[in-house]
Each structure stands twice: as C-alpha cells, then as structure tokens.
C-alpha cells in the first residue's frame, strides 16, 4: 500500500512536471551517495540499497570513489564541502563523523530518529558514534566484530588442542602447534593488522575499562601502566608465533594459510569469514570462529552514512528516506548477509545468518549490557585518525624490532601526546 502511494506520487509528479514544464509540484526524494564500496560483496550490498531506495520513489545519484580504503573519497568530500556543494549522504565512520559535525557540515535527523525509535534499537555505544551533541547526524549500516580468532580445526586436532579461553592457554596452544611444525598464527605484517592483534590483546589482558581509559580518554598513566607493559610482552610472544615471511603480507593471504592448514589461527575481523565462504568452507566444520580471550569483551567496527547539510527539499526528503531505509529491518538483513557483518540495529531476525554471525549478535547484546563493548582503535572507531595513527606507529615498530615493552609504552604515551 505504502509502495503504491509512493508510485502514484512519483507518477503524478512526473505527469505534472511534463504538463507544467519546470514547475515542481511535489518533491522527489533525491540523494547523491558518496561511498567507497566498489568491489565484491560490498558493491552488491550497495546495489541492494539503491534498488530499495528507487522502489520507494527516490532518485539515487551514485558517486562511488574507488581506492585506498576511503582516502580518495575523503579528498573528494573535502573539496565538495569546501566548495559549498556537499553530497547528501557520505560513507564515513567513527570520530570522522564528530569532526565533520563540529565543522557544522552535518544535518540533523533527530526528528526522524524519534519517530522511528532509534534510541531503542541501537546499542548505546553505536548511538554515541552517530550522534553529535545528542542529535542524530549519521546512520549506522552494520557492525563488524574485530576480536575473532579464525581456527583450522584439523590443525588443532593434530595437537589435541582446545580453543583457548585465556591468553596463557593461547600461548600454551601456540607452543604445542609450533613444536608440531604448524605455524601457530597466520599474520600479515601491515601496521593495521599489527594493531588489530594488539587491540584484542589489550582488551583481553586489561579489560574494557583499561581499554577505554587508554585509547579513548588517552590517559597517560594508563598508557604507561604495568598492564600496558604486559600487553606489549604478549605482543612480543605473538611475534614468535608468526612465520618469517610475514612482513607486507595481505590479510586475505594469511586467511588462506589457515584454510590450507599451513597455519592454525588468524586474528582478524569478520570480513575474513567472506574468504572462507568464497572458498566453499563451512563455518563450524571447515573453520571455527572463536572470540579472542577477553572475558566477554567485544571490539566493534561499524560503517555508517553521515547526512550532510542540504538546502533543497528534494535532497532533504531523499536523506530522510535513505536514513529510514538504512535502519529498516529489511535492508539491515539483506545488506549484512552480503557484507558478512551483522545488523547495526537489534531485533532483526537471525534466521538467515550463519553461526558465526549469530554468535556475534548474542555476544554483542551481552557485552553491551555488561559494559564490555568497546570501539576498535585499529579500525578508527574509538580514536581519531591522528591518535589511531600514533598507536599504529608504535605497535608496528615494536612488533618489527627488538624494542623492549618499557620503551614501547613510553613511546606510546609520547606519540599519542604529539598526535593530539
């Protein structure tokens, strides 16, 4: 019924504009969408959103910018905003949303949010990310979990190993694997991958409170604390569990090492699942997904669309329609099935999702209630680009040299101070 009225509205608008020339009788929701999802499952996921938007009478102006994990897009966005002609919706995430909102570039979706009851369906941590000064300025599309270990069960069976529940168990298991001639940890030596491992260790050894104090509040004493020294000690151990050829390796090549059984485990976010699925592997049978040891913690990464200030009525209607669709249950389900992540809102049926995704949903809810849910540092949710970069520099330098843990924490505190 709703669809029909929309269709009617569109055709009336079309006919009347034909008759009356340029006079616009009714606004057609229009949205120019700037994004960097240009390949594979991501492209399919965006297409699903576009089709949904058009089926609801909207006019979608696609503005994809490929490359560099969003670097190229950021340059385009900057020049568009500076020239006073921002796109309606832009794929940006984490503290970038806050920075654009502080620059006064973002619109306000609070009214729509109240109508749709977003406060009740979004986890509080996610609300903090997409709200500025209590106003909704962006909508989240998905949630990726970062703190996963992807395990090859056959490799584990060779040493009679159990999935580890503490970092001590992890080390014991890794030693056994190494003795059996299996690479314990498949890893790619790129700064963001080093930092991905680092943050799971930091959450595991320090807990959520420590994690937030260090990387969100940037408290110097916490950054230099004994706990942080222990985190770096564990990183030094991890360095011994990777093979010699790891520098520069891409994450998906590390994933295929686990698939082939050359390596037993990889610590990586749930986009790694896509690699297993694409190779025809089944979760629970050919590979296991277990959370990194952290007493019920959860490290979250989330993509979102920020809505920029637009003046035109068509664009405003377009933004509202887009925001409503993005947080709708239907889109959340289709999109995240394509992308390998889980819905950003609660209450979406888990029926079609695989067991890793279902586990992620259950853990998300539990950790959100227990207060052990944190934003990712390596994936630019908890910290701004500058702070994230400072953490990456130190973690990767420590991982790739003989730096002591004491020197590393001192350097960490110093770099973060310089980055602010």
Partner 1 sequence: MTQKSIPAKQPLLDWLRRNVAKLVVAPTFALMIFFVYGFIAWTGYISLTKSKMLPSYSFEGFYQYIRLWKMTPWNVAMENLLIFGGLFILVSIVLGCLLAIALDQRVRAEGVLRTIYLYPMAISFIITGTAWKWILNPGLGIQNTVRSWGWESFSFDWLINSEMAVYTLVIAAVWQSSGFVMALFLAALRGVDSEIIKAAYLDGASLSRIYLVIILPTLRPVFLSCFFILTHLAVKSFDLVVALTGGGPGYSTILPANFMYEMTFRRNQIGLGAASAIMMLATVMAIVIPYLYSELREKKHD
Residues of this chain that bind partner 1 (CB under 8 A): 71, 74-75, 78, 81-82, 96, 99-100, 103, 189-191, 244-248, 384-386, 388-389, 393, 396-397, 399-401, 411, 415, 418-419
Contacts (Cβ under 8 Å, ≥6 apart) of 142:
302, 303, 332, 335, 336, 339, 341, 342, 343, 344
What's the rounded Cα separation, in Å, for the pair 385 and 304?
16
* Residue nearer to partner 1 on the CB measure, 65 or 159: 65
According to DSSP, residue 247 is labeled B
* Residue nearer to partner 1 on the CB measure, 160 or 245: 245
Distance of closest approach, residue 250 Cβ to partner 1, in angstroms: 10
* Residue nearer to partner 1 on the CB measure, 160 or 420: 420
Q: Are 208 and 370 in contact (CB under 8 A)?
A: no
What's the rounded Cα separation, in Å, for the pair 73 and 66?
7
Distance of closest approach, residue 261 Cβ to partner 1, in angstroms: 17
* Residue nearer to partner 1 on the CB measure, 334 or 400: 400
Distance of closest approach, residue 48 Cβ to partner 1, in angstroms: 29
Q: Are 155 and 266 in contact (CB under 8 A)?
A: no
* Residue nearer to partner 1 on the CB measure, 58 or 191: 191
Distance of closest approach, residue 148 Cβ to partner 1, in angstroms: 24
Give the closest residue to 375 by CA, choosing from 88, 146, 91, 66. Answer: 146
Distance of closest approach, residue 75 Cβ to partner 1, in angstroms: 6
Distance of closest approach, residue 315 Cβ to partner 1, in angstroms: 22
Distance of closest approach, residue 209 Cβ to partner 1, in angstroms: 27
- The number of CA neighbours under 13 Å toward the Cβ of 399 is 29
What's the rounded Cα separation, in Å, for the pair 49 and 39?
15
Q: Are 137 and 319 in contact (CB under 8 A)?
A: no
* Residue nearer to partner 1 on the CB measure, 273 or 388: 388
- Residue 73, CA distances (Å) to 90, 102, 125, 238, 255 in order: 9, 20, 26, 35, 28
* Residue nearer to partner 1 on the CB measure, 296 or 385: 385
């Amino acid at each position: 019924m709703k669809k029909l009225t929309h269709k009617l509205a569109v055709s009336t608008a079309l006919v009347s504009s034909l008759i009356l020339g340029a006079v616009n009788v009714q606004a057609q929701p229009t949205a120019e969408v700037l994004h960097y999802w240009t390949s594979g499952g991501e492209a399919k996921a965006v297409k699903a959103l576009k089709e949904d938007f058009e089926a609801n009478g909207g006019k979608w102006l696609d503005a994809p910018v490929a490359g560099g994990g969003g670097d190229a897009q950021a340059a385009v966005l900057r020049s568009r905003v500076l020239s006073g002609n921002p796109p309606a919706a832009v794929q940006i995430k984490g503290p970038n949303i806050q920075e654009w909102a502080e620059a006064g570039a973002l619109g306000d979706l609070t009214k729509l949010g109240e109508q749709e009851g977003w406060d009740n369906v979004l986890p509080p941590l996610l609300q903090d990310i997409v709200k500025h000064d209590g106003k909704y300025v962006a909508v989240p599309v998905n949630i990726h979990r970062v703190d996963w270990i992807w395990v090859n069960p056959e490799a584990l069976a060779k040493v009679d190993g159990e999935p580890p529940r503490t970092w001590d168990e992890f080390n014991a298991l890794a030693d056994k694997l190494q003795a059996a001639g299996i690479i314990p940890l498949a890893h790619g030596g790129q700064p963001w991958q080093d930092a991905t491992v680092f943050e799971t260790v930091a959450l595991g050894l320090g807990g959520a409170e420590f994690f937030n104090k260090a990387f969100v509040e940037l408290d110097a004493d916490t950054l230099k604390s004994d706990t942080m020294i222990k985190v770096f000690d564990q990183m030094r151990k991890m360095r011994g569990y990777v093979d010699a050829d790891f520098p520069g390796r891409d994450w998906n090549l590390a994933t295929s090492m686990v698939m082939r059984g050359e390596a037993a485990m990889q610590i990586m976010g749930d986009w790694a699942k896509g690699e297993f699925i694409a190779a025809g592997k089944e979760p629970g049978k050919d590979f296991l997904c277990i959370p990194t040891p952290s007493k019920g913690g959860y490290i979250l990464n989330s993509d979102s669309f920020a809505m920029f200030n637009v003046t035109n009525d068509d664009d405003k209607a377009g933004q509202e329609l887009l925001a409503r669709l993005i947080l709708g249950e239907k889109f959340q389900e289709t999109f995240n099935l394509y992308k390998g992540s889980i819905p950003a809102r609660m209450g979406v049926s888990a029926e079609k999702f695989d067991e890793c995704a279902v586990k992620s949903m259950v853990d998300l809810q539990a950790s959100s209630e227990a207060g052990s849910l944190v934003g990712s540092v390596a994936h630019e949710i908890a910290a701004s680009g500058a702070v994230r970069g400072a953490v990456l520099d130190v973690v990767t330098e420590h991982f790739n040299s003989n730096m002591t843990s004491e020197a590393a924490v001192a350097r960490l505190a110093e770099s973060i101070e310089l980055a602010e």
